[in-house]
Amino acid sequence: MSKGLITSGAYVAFVSDIALISKYQTRYAFLQNLKIKSLEGFLYPDTYKVDTEKDVIDQLVYLQLETFKKRVWEKASTITPPQGMDWYSSIILASIVEKEERSNKNRPTVAGILMKRLQLGTLVGADISLCYFFEVPYSDCTPNFIARNVADKTNPYNTRAVR
């Protein structure tokens, strides 16, 4: 995508617009019956070609959701999620694992550890999750940022302090 096709904040505003989410929920089975405030987690990252003469964000979100449907949902909808989880919780956990562990090789181990903690009812302890509350980019969720905020029990996404 060329620089300048989307103004700062416009994409996030679009994917967080409740009316637009509702529109997409009628179109996609994987969004139905979910109480979500954002399409985040369903917007498949890839390289997309869009028509710059039309609404770029609308095209991009449509393409991302279609790709999610083809690459994730069509497979995930036939798989039984881990015990005690629904498929949406599995998507959330996968997102946490993806950001918590950068190495593809280690991700299954990290996922197993986090699943075990969930099953035992203990704190999940995924550092990356606390950054979600602050809406900071992944690149800004540094060890120093995490250390400054790790004890914050008012942050509902802080899995080191809140179950």
Q: What is the DSSP string of 99-112?
A: HH---TTTHHHHHH
Q: Write down which residue in 45, 76, 107 finishes a domain.
A: 76
pLDDT digits (tens, 9 = 90+) for 8-57: 889 999 999 999 999 999 999 999 999 999 998 899 999 999 999 999 99
Burial class (CB in 10 A: 0-12, 13-18, 19+), 95: middle
Let me know if residue 129 belongs to a domain: yes
Same domain, yes or no: 71 and 93: no
* pLDDT value for 3: 66
Report if residue 5 sits inside a domain.
no
Same domain, 67 and 93: no
CB burial class (10 A; 0-12, 13-18, 19+) of residue 158?
Answer: buried
How far lies 27's CA from each of 13, 71, 122, 135, in Å?
20, 17, 37, 28
Q: Are residues 72 and 91 in the same domain?
A: no
Work out the number of other CB atoms within 10 angstroms of the CB of residue 71.
Answer: 12
The answer to whether residue 1 scores a pLDDT higher than 60 is: no
Asked if residue 154 belongs to a domain, the reply is no
Considering the domain boundaries, does residue 155 fall inside one?
no
Domain end, chosen from 57, 76, 95, is at: 76
Average pLDDT, the chain: 91
Domain check: are 91 and 145 in the same one? Answer: yes
Same domain, 20 and 67: yes
* pLDDT of amino acid 82: 77
Instruction: Tell whether 71 and 15 lie within a shared domain.
Output: yes
Q: Please work out, in degrees rounded to the nearest 5, the angle formed at the alpha carbon of residue 155 by the alpha carbons of 149 and 161.
A: 70
Instruction: Give the model confidence (pLDDT) of 67-94 as tens digits.
Output: 999 999 998 878 887 777 888 888 889 8
Query: What pTM does this model have?
Result: 0.76
Q: Is residue 39 part of a domain?
A: yes
Average pLDDT score over residue span 124-132: 90
Counting the structural domains of the chain, the total is 2
What range defines the domain where residue 69 resides?
Answer: 10-76
Judge whether residue 155 has pLDDT over 90.
yes
Same domain, yes or no: 60 and 99: no
Is the pLDDT at 7 greater than 70? The verdict is yes
Domain boundary among 76, 98, 125: 76
Question: Does residue 58 share a domain with residue 93?
Answer: no
